[in-house]
Homo-oligomer: A and B are copies of this chain.
Amino acid sequence: MAKGAAALKKKSDLKREAAKSAPAQPAVPDDQPIIALDLGPANLSPAMQAYFQKCQDKLGFVPNVLVAYAFDSAKLEAFAAMYNDLMLAPSGLSKLEREMIAVAVSSQNRCYYCLTAHGQAVRQYSNDPKLGEHMVMNYRAARLSKRQRAMLDFAVKLTNEPWAVEEEDRAALRKAGFSERDIWDIAAVTGFYNMSNRIASATDMRPNPVYHGMSR
């Protein structure tokens, strides 16, 4: 069950660069394949090759979810396009808020990959390691603004009982100051992690070990 990571970049390079961005974290090798399916690497399109290179340059590593998708260039492109639009494009939700939704949703679904990778993102964007832990463990234990609490209550209800979401739930978001477009974005980010959590759980996807020590 060898994974495609090696085909994309030498592992030692990856480690070295990752180490730079998180120097206090010893470069512990993760002796596990990235996913539990044996899917060889595809020839990536130039756009995707450039995307991976950009990850290396900015993060010091390619997130394993992208390596996992690299067995099929079209699937990788579709995933990356949706991810980048949802999490990075302009929105009434801050990037931190979108990551908070990602983690609170992943906590309901107990997704090891997403909790690790996006828990780190919450710690980094918020500059508050405790907030990342709150999102992982129980978002209700965090001291949140009314806006952010309403946002997460909606995301968690939509995760756990989507059939019961109704007009009064949307009204609660509007009352907390969210626009129509913001509500769409909350729903779309919640939906996206309900998808990603399941793909990660179905394939036993492993996060890059470097996440564990970052932004602590």
**A:176-214 near B, CB below 8 Å:** 180-181, 183-184, 186-188, 190-192, 194-199, 201-204, 209, 212-213
Cβ-defined contact, A212 with B129, below 8 A:
yes
Cβ-defined contact, A141 with B204, below 8 A:
yes
The binding surface of chain A is classed by DSSP as helix
Shortest Cβ distance from residue A198 to the other chain B in the assembled complex, whole angstroms: 4
**A:146-200 near B, CB below 8 Å:** 154, 158-159, 162-167, 169-170, 180-181, 183-184, 186-188, 190-192, 194-199
Cβ-defined contact, B25 with A216, below 8 A:
yes
Distance between Cα atoms of A81 and B158 in the complex (Å): 24
The 10 lowest CB-CB distance pairs between A and B, nearest first, are: A187-B202, A110-B163, A112-B141, A195-B195, A191-B195, A191-B198, A162-B201, A110-B138, A78-B82, A37-B180
